Amino acid sequence: MSGIDTTPLRDVAGPPEPEIPRRRRLRTLVRADRSSLVGHAGATPYVLSGPSIVMVTALLVFPVVYALWVSLFDAEFIGGPQEFVGFDQYTALLQDPDFMWSVGRTLIFVTGVLVIGVPLGLVFAFALSRATGKLRFLRGITIVPYLISGIATAVIFRLILNRDFGEVNRVLGFLGIEDVAWFSDPTLAMLASMLAQVWSDLPLVILLLLGGLMTVDAELLDAADVDGATGWKRALKVSIPLIIPQLVLATILLSYQALTSLGVILALTGGGPVDATRTLPVALYEAAFVDLETNKAMAIVIVILLFNALLTLGYWLLSRRFDLEEA
Amino acid sequence: MTATTVAERRRVSPPEARVKRWLRRIFIGIPLLALAIWTIYPMLMTLSISFKTKADVSADPGLIPANPTLDGYRSVLEREGFQSAFVNSMVVGLGTALLTVILAVPAAYAFARFRFRGRHLLLLFTLLPRLIPGLGLMVPLYRIAVTLGAIDHLLTLIVAFTGTVLPLAVWLFVGFFQQVPRELEEAANVDGASLYSRIRYIVMPLAFPAIITIGVLAFREAWNEFNLVLGLTSSPGSRTLPYELFLMTQTTGFQDNPGQAAFAIMTIIPFIFVYLRLERYVVSGLTSGALK
């Protein structure tokens, strides 16, 4: 016989399992795992995972430790000898009005992105969840802005928000609002940055919320339908409460992206006009690559990472609380 | 049951029901139209401007250029730095994808199949990219690269990007590997297959969609990344496309709009092409990638 006889292999896997509760069965599987196939592995798992662990440690963990270390020093002049100053960099930052301005701008920027992004994402997700038949292709297109780099996004927005020929101004002019100078008015420049940021990250929000909406029980919606709750009422009273976990996670995700956004703002407004869009990432860029104040830049890095850690902590706690396997 | 009730109601009052149905269609139709415009129109406008002459950008408001020209693309192609940036982006993108897969597959296999000390690092792996975004690495990696004399090397970019994608890649691979039935491997083991051949001939073919997903994910990261390129390159020949495009916006200002549009289009098109080809593999990976 040339065919492979599989019967002996079944024997290896052991006799058919008796009916046991699911959790118990999982545990027995795990135990079998330890003894069979791979239990006597010795050094193998370390050899297999070693390179990745070393790489991640060297490229993600070490730089942060290094940044923290460097931020404890200062130099009298660029390239001068490094002197240990403890946390002086941080106290200096707290007393620096320019830095506090950047913190304020960041808060405004993140808030604006949320205020625009979350409702927009919710409306689009609702619409997509009802899009059937040929309209389903819209789902595939939705993700496209997410595939585009922040710089290219900024270029696109520089063009469509252009004062003279931008499409947005043409529409506004049609409505009677003439000559909107998006990039020389501080408030509008901030708004333009928010819009570009929302544009590039909205796909994530939409797909996350859409995922939530798809899991909303159709029977529940039908029941609401029968009870006379249709349209807005159904959405507000039935669907939205059910996707609160996704909404919260989408909010955190958007704030995370906005907090660490450099390319979009730098290429769109360069932090201007008159520092209107000089958020923390822009301040970091200027300290490191324009003013060449490395020690100060490292302190800003740590501050940004702290803000970010707060968000991550929130994300983690909430995703655990909502027990979201998929998000 | 429900269907009949709804249908009955419709039969009872046809005109009212028809109005309702139309209203519903409009309530869904308007946001869908808005979504399509929001997503596609900015790109269409950019595409349109890229084919216009500099003067026509403000003189000709039409979506379809009255005097289509390739001048914008010519100005980009003739631009010093574009061609090398394009090649660099390709090399760095493919290199990152390859290195990521090569490093992540064995690591994920270890996490998925073995019980060993350090196995709990996996949880840390999922949190690290969230805790430490590229922006936070930009300046420290720049200083480290200066110290090591590694500035301006493509390999430095590949290694740095791989480092940032790796946690996610490992995490996604673990998920896929856990779905590969253990029995297959046990059978092969009985037949005398070594660890390498089990990975190579059983796990890898079954995890092929995962490899594509993670490859594209890594490629996207390298293709679009700006912060790290800003930190790790300083000379014209070593930059990648986003940095080069950024420099173009800084140097030409609002002078060469068709050129900037053409540049943006040329950085977008290759990746969209890859994406459309592999869409069915990639969407779930991309989204879970973003969310993890």
HSE (side-chain half, CA atoms, 13 Å) at A273 = 10
HSE (side-chain half, CA atoms, 13 Å) at A54 = 8
Residue type, A97: P
Do you know the residue count of chain A?
327
Interface test with B, best of A9, A34, A40, A59 (most B CBs within 10 A): A59
Measured distance CA(B114)–CA(B112) in Å, rounded: 6
Measured distance CA(B205)–CA(B187) in Å, rounded: 16
Residue type, B87: V
pLDDT at A46 over 90: no
Residue of A nearest to B24 (CA): A231
- Chain A hits for B129, Cβ within 8 Å: 60
Does A109 lie at the interface with B, CB-CB under 8 angstroms? no
Which has more pLDDT, A303 or A49? A303
Q: What is the pLDDT of residue A137?
A: 77
Cα B11–chain centre separation? 50
Q: What is the pLDDT of residue A299?
A: 93
Does A319 lie at the interface with B, CB-CB under 8 angstroms? no
Residue of B nearest to A183 (CA): B254
Q: Residues A153, A269: contact at Cβ < 8 Å?
A: no
| All structural domains of chain A with their residue ranges | 90-321
Phi/psi of residue A73, nearest 5 degrees:
-115, 170
Instruction: Render pLDDT for B243-287 as a digit per residue (tens, 0 to 9).
Output: 989 988 887 766 778 888 899 999 998 888 877 777 766 666 655
Q: What is the pLDDT of residue B2?
A: 47
- Chain A hits for B182, Cβ within 8 Å: 33, 37
Q: Residues B96, B156: contact at Cβ < 8 Å?
A: no
Does A43 lie at the interface with B, CB-CB under 8 angstroms? no
**Short-list B126, B86, B61, CA closest to B241:** B86
CB within 8 Å: A249 and B23? no
Residue type, A152: A
State the pLDDT confidence band at A229, using cuts at 50, 70 and 90.
Answer: low
Interface test with B, best of A29, A38, A179 (most B CBs within 10 A): A38
Q: What's the average model confidence in pLDDT over B122-145?
A: 85
Cα B234–chain centre separation? 25
Q: What's the average model confidence in pLDDT over A235-248?
A: 80
Q: What is the pLDDT of residue A174?
A: 84
A positions 151-190 inside 8 Å of B (CB): 151-152, 154-160, 162, 164-165, 167, 170
Nearest to A149 among B110, B162, B242 (CB): B242
Q: What is the pLDDT of residue A7?
A: 36
Q: What's the average model confidence in pLDDT over A5-20?
A: 41
pLDDT at B292 over 50: no
Residue of B nearest to A66 (CA): B140
CB within 8 Å: A56 and B125? yes
Measured distance CA(A24)–CA(B131) in Å, rounded: 35
- Chain A hits for B160, Cβ within 8 Å: 59
Nearest to A315 among B27, B38, B130 (CB): B130
Tell me the C-alpha to C-alpha distance, in Å, between residue A8 and each of A279, B191, B236: 66, 11, 64
Instruction: Render pLDDT for B154-176 as a digit per residue (tens, 0 to 9).
Output: 999 999 999 999 988 888 888 88
The alpha carbon of residue B39 is apart from the nearest alpha carbon of chain A, in Å, by 7
Q: What is the pLDDT of residue B287?
A: 56
ipTM of the complex: 0.85
Nearest to B144 among A49, A63, A260 (CB): A63
DSSP code of residue A78: T
| All structural domains of chain B with their residue ranges | 2-72, 74-291
Tell me the C-alpha to C-alpha distance, in Å, between residue B107 and each of A56, A87, B111, B158, B218: 12, 38, 6, 19, 16
Phi/psi of residue A82, nearest 5 degrees:
-85, 130
CATH homologous superfamily, domain A90-321: MetI-like (1.10.3720.10)
**How many other CB atoms are there within 10 angstroms of residue B226's CB atom?**
26
Instruction: Render pLDDT for A286-327 as a digit per residue (tens, 0 to 9).
Output: 999 998 888 899 999 999 999 989 887 877 777 677 655 444
pLDDT at B223 over 70: yes
Query: Residue B239, SS3?
Result: coil
Instruction: Render pLDDT for A106-150 as a digit per residue (tens, 0 to 9).
Output: 999 999 999 999 999 999 998 888 777 777 778 878 888 988 999
- Extract the runs of DSSP E, i.e. beta strands, from B174-286: none
Mean pLDDT over all residues of chain B?
82
Cα B229–chain centre separation? 16
Measured distance CA(A85)–CA(A98) in Å, rounded: 21
CB within 8 Å: A44 and B110? yes
Does A295 lie at the interface with B, CB-CB under 8 angstroms? no
- Extract the runs of DSSP E, i.e. beta strands, from chain A: 73-75, 82-84
Q: What is the pLDDT of residue A322?
A: 67
Q: What is the pLDDT of residue A25?
A: 46
The alpha carbon of residue B148 is apart from the nearest alpha carbon of chain A, in Å, by 13
- Chain B hits for A249, Cβ within 8 Å: 291
pLDDT at A42 over 70: yes
Query: Is domain B74-291 annotated with CATH 1.10.3720.10?
Result: yes
Instruction: Render pLDDT for B52-75 as a digit per residue (tens, 0 to 9).
Output: 887 777 777 777 888 888 888 888
The alpha carbon of residue A298 is apart from the nearest alpha carbon of chain B, in Å, by 7
Q: Residues A194, A232: contact at Cβ < 8 Å?
A: no
Residue B264: partners with Cβ closer than 8 Å, 6 or more residues away: A152, A155, A156, B46, B50, B245
DSSP code of residue A25: H
Nearest to B107 among A48, A138, A297 (CB): A48
CB within 8 Å: A156 and B43? yes
- Chain B hits for A326, Cβ within 8 Å: 288
Least-confidence region, from A28-32, A59-63, B163-167: A28-32
Q: What's the average model confidence in pLDDT over B108-128?
A: 79
CB within 8 Å: A55 and B140? no
Q: What is the pLDDT of residue A16?
A: 45
Residue of A nearest to B61 (CA): A165
Residue of B nearest to A6 (CA): B187
Which has more pLDDT, B4 or A80? A80
Which has more pLDDT, B6 or B262? B262
- Chain B hits for A160, Cβ within 8 Å: 41-42, 45-46
Measured distance CA(B127)–CA(B138) in Å, rounded: 19
Q: What is the pLDDT of residue A135?
A: 72
- Chain B hits for A222, Cβ within 8 Å: 2
Which has more pLDDT, B20 or B4? B20
